[in-house]
Amino acid sequence: MKALHFGGGNIGRGLIGYLLNKTGFEVCFIDANQQLVDSINDYNNYLVKLLDEDNTVESISPVRALHISSQAEVVNEIIESDIITTSVGVNNLPKIAPIISKGLLERARLNKGKIDVIANENAINATSILREEIAKNVTDSEMASIQTFVGFPNSAIDRLSLSGETDENDRGVALVEPYYEWVVNKSEMVNPEILSLKDITFVESLKPYIERKLFMVNMGHATTAYIAFLEGYKTIQSALKDPIIERFLRETLNEVSGYFIQTYNVQISEMTEFIEQTLERFKNDNISDDIFRVGRAPIRKLGYNERLVKPLRSNYDLGLSIDNLTLAVAASLLFDNPDDEESVTLQSFIQDHGVDEAISHFTQIENTTIKTKIKNNYDRLNKGSSISTLVSLNER
Query: With bands split at pLDDT 50, 70 and 90, how would you rate the model's confidence at 213?
Result: very high
Q: Look up the CATH architecture of domain 207-395.
A: Orthogonal Bundle (1.10)
pLDDT score recorded for residue 396: 57
pLDDT score recorded for residue 47: 94
Q: Output b/e per residue, 303-321; b: 16+ Cβ within 10 A.
A: eeebbbbbbbbbbbeeebb
Q: What is the pLDDT of the chain when averaged over all its residues?
A: 94
* 2-203 CATH, one of 2.60.120.260, 2.60.40.10, 3.40.50.720, 1.10.540.10: 3.40.50.720
Tens of pLDDT, residues 328-349: 999 999 999 999 999 999 999 9
Tens of pLDDT, residues 71-87: 999 999 999 999 999 99
The mean per-residue pLDDT over the stretch 130-150 comes to: 97
Domain ranges within the chain, ordered by starting residue: 2-203, 207-395
Query: With bands split at pLDDT 50, 70 and 90, how would you rate the model's confidence at 175?
Result: very high
Tens of pLDDT, residues 229-274: 999 999 999 999 999 999 999 999 999 999 999 999 999 999 999 9
d(CA 116, CA 191): 6
Instruction: Inform me whether the pLDDT recorded for 392 exceeds 70.
Output: no
Beta sheet of 150-151, edge-to-edge order:
63-67, 26-31, 2-6, 83-86, 115-119, 150-151
The mean per-residue pLDDT over the stretch 15-25 comes to: 94
Query: pTM to 2 decimals?
Result: 0.86
Cis check for the bond before 153: say yes or no (omega within 30 of 0).
Answer: no
Q: Quick check: do 2-203 and 207-395 share a fold?
A: no
Pairing verdict, β 201-203 and 161-166: unpaired
Tens of pLDDT, residues 360-371: 999 999 999 999
The amino acid that residue 255 corresponds to is: E
Instruction: Inform me whether the pLDDT recorded for 194 exceeds 90.
Output: no
